[in-house]
Amino acid sequence: MLEIKNLHVELEEEDKAILKGVDLSVEAGRVHAIMGPNGSGKSTLSYVLSGRDGYEVTDGSAMLEGDDILGMEPEERAAAGLFLAFQYPVEIPGVGNMTFMRTALNAQRKARGEDEISASDFLKLVRAKATELQIDADMLKRPVNVGFSGGEKKRNEILQMAILEPKMCILDETDSGLDVDAMKLVAEGVNALRSQGRAFLVITHYQRLLDHIKPDVVHIMVDGRIVKSGGPELAQEVEKNGYADIMAEVA
């Protein structure tokens, strides 16, 4: 599903290298987790994959189902099936949450040559998905994320994901700032979307989310590279010993 090879990325403004040769292959139907200390480049990886401005790819490649995504516009990447749930979801005053999601879904359909969803079908869809995620109708009517609590913002990200049905879902620290109940709800939302044709890249600083979203593979990113990969036991090891052992091993 996603094949990243030798990805090198610099900050455009400062010529500062952030990613220093990332290799990562995520198969369809699988959940991979990336853990790593603060500042190791996890968010940068998710931003570069989704096409955020300000980063320069100096070497390497990233393919989604065999197509080079680094040359695509962000909306083309989304239409190709890529989705990023933000670490810090932005508030968009003046844009209704429902309007936002319907516009995104219709843009995706248009890019794929499909018909727009009717207003009534969309309403049915969004209500059904919102109920599953325990998102109340009031949140759907409000401007995107405006006045939402941390947990509501994260659940709203998962709602967008449930509606757009992407193939490759990247979740950047979706657990940060969530209490245990909200985290379980988010994890259940993700688990409900797991399927043969869909892959996940779950970025997290802590192991607790991975107790609920059981990953197939865990990677450790340190200083812009994936330095170790393994099964879920690797997350347990990090939880117990921190990153010091792994960093010493790598050094």
- Residues at the site binding ligand ADP, with contacts judged by CB under 6 A: 11, 18, 36, 38-44, 54
Choose among ligand ADP, Mg ion, none what residue 41 binds, the Cβ cut-off being 5 to 8 Å by kind: ligand ADP
Beta-carbon contacts of 222 under 8 Å, excluding residues fewer than 6 positions away, are: 36, 37, 40, 243, 246, 247, 250
Q: Which does 118 bind (CB under 5 to 8 A by kind): Mg ion, ligand ADP, none?
A: none
Within 9-68, which residues bind Mg ion (CB under 5 A)?
A: 38, 42-43
Binding partner of residue 54 among Mg ion, ligand ADP, none, CB under 5 to 8 Å per kind? Answer: ligand ADP
In order of 100, 117, 128, 176, 241, the CA distances from 104 in angstroms are 6, 11, 18, 25, 42
What is the C-alpha separation between 88 and 153, in angstroms, rounded?
9
Q: Contact between 108 and Mg ion (CB under 5 A)?
A: no
Which residues have CB under 8 Å from 217's CB, separation 6+? 30, 31, 32, 33, 229, 230, 231
Residue 43 contacts residue 222 (beta carbons within 8 Å)? no
Cα 194–chain centre separation: 14
Residues 155 and 150: their CA atoms lie apart, in Å, by 9
CB of 116 to ligand ADP, least distance (A): 36
Query: CB-wise, 185 or 203, nearer to ligand ADP?
Result: 203
Q: Least distance to Mg ion from the beta carbon of 197, Å?
A: 27
Query: DSSP string of 124-142?
Result: HHHHHHHHHTT--HHHHHS
Provide the minimum distance between the beta carbon of 196 and ligand ADP in the complex, in angstroms, as a whole number.
29
Q: Which CB, 22 or 126, lies closer to ligand ADP?
A: 22
Instruction: Measure the CA–CA gap between 178 and 149, rounded to whole angstroms.
Output: 9
For residue 135, the minimal CB distance to ligand ADP (Å) is 27
> Contact at 8 Å (CB) between 103 and 95?
no
Task: Identify what 40 binds: Mg ion, ligand ADP, none; CB under 5 to 8 Å per kind.
Answer: ligand ADP
Total residues in contact with Mg ion, by rule CB under 5 A? 3
Residue 145's binding partner, choosing from ligand ADP, Mg ion, none, with beta-carbon cut-off 5 to 8 A by kind? none
Output the six-digit token pair for 1. 């599903």
Residue 195: CB minimum distance to ligand ADP, A: 27
Min. distance of Cβ 151 from ligand ADP in angstroms? 20
Query: In the complex, which residues of this chain contact Mg ion (CB under 5 A)?
Result: 38, 42-43
